Amino acid sequence: MQPEEFTLVRDLVRTFATHHAVDSADAIGPKSRAAAQEALDGLGLAELRCTTPPAATVQECALLAEEHGRLPLTTSLLGTALLAPELLRLLGTGEHGTRFTIALAPDLRLPGPRAADLRAWDCDGADAALYVDTEGTVTRAEPGSPAPTADLLRSVRKASAVGGPLGRLAAEDRQRWQAYALVLVASELVGAAGSFVERSVEYARERRQYGRRIGSFQAVQHLLADATVLVEACTSATRYAAWCLDHEPPEQALTTARVAKAEVNTSAVEAVYAGMQVFGGIAQTWEHIAHLYLRKVLVGATTLATTADLLPALAAPEATR
């Protein structure tokens, strides 16, 4: 997209997020979820990565994922609007009239070679899911009953593979797809962690104890300064990984995506924990918005790949990756 086009799309996402963000866990319900998803679908974001060449770069999609993560939204942007269309584009196929999301393993990691038990992830508005095994074979999966997840904002359903393979990704396309998925999930977590730290700073400016704003206490200042540095580290690593997907070979892009996700898995969680400490006891209540951010980041840190999954792959010689 041209810069002015991207600015328009980003502003549309920001306006949408402001109108449809939830302010407590009690505001999450089937009707509100359906209305928000319908509004998101109306923005046409699924068209950004469905053509070759795509209308939007990976960097632009990553920034949109950041925006989506900044507020508590129940909508499926990553699964249905960004990840599934990119997978179909790389596969060189499509099914008209079917809205896809992606299918993951039961622990929400990247699936293994068998597709007996799957989870349709980020699946609001999706009719079916796409399962990619370790060899790059893509199979259709049908969503079933809701599956439990600690993230109250994300819809996850049990799924099972049906029919024969839709196709198989070439080795480079498989690397590119995996890197793209890691970058977008990491980007949304960056947005969530950054927004929560900003909320914590604003709270510290207003909250008074012993007649003084708590933001004037050095211990709180250090806590928030450290959290800000953690968010900046996440942001830098993730945006560089998105740039690599647009400009570097797939193998290098996958390496930087793994680095970014490993960084986010640790730093984003620590930053949100710091913000929880600043909010104090109120952040531990059901009514406060803090636990929605915490749940999102904690689950996201284990989605696709944990740090324990990523570090051995990064430590291995390049010829074996």
Q: At what angle do helices 58-70 and 171-206 cross, to 10 degrees?
A: 40
Q: What is the arithmetic mean of pLDDT over 172-200? A: 98
Q: How many CB atoms lie within 10 A of CB 43?
A: 17
Q: Is 211 left (phi over 0), alpha (psi -120 to 50) or beta?
A: left
Express each pLDDT in 186-197 by its tens digit: 999 999 999 999
The predicted pLDDT at position 297 comes to 98
The predicted pLDDT at position 309 comes to 95
The predicted pLDDT at position 163 comes to 87
Q: Is the pLDDT score of 271 beyond 60?
A: yes
Closest CA to 178 of 9, 58, 276: 58
The predicted pLDDT at position 173 comes to 97
The predicted pLDDT at position 164 comes to 87
Q: What is the arithmetic mean of pLDDT over 62-72? A: 98
What DSSP line would sit under 233-274, residue for residue? HHHHHHHHHHHHHHHS-HHHHHHHHHHHHHHHHHHHHHHHHH
Q: Is the pLDDT score of 320 beyond 50?
A: no
What is the pTM for the complete model shown? 0.96
Q: What is the arithmetic mean of pLDDT over 30-42? A: 96
Q: Give, rounded to a whole angstrom, the gap between the first and last alpha carbons of the chain.
A: 33
- The helix/strand/coil state of 138 is strand
93 falls in which pLDDT band (50, 70, 90)?
Answer: confident
C-alpha distances (whole Å) from 209 to each of 92, 206, 213, 215, 250 are: 60, 10, 6, 10, 53
What is the pLDDT of the chain when averaged over all its residues?
95
Q: What is the arithmetic mean of pLDDT over 124-152? A: 95
Structural domains in the chain plus CATH codes = 173-320 (1.20.140.10)
Q: Is the pLDDT score of 134 beyond 60?
A: yes
Q: Is the pLDDT score of 321 beyond 60?
A: no
The predicted pLDDT at position 318 comes to 61
Express each pLDDT in 284-307 by its tens digit: 999 999 999 999 999 999 999 999
Alpha helix positions (H), 137-289: 171-206, 218-247, 250-279
d(CA 136, CA 152): 31
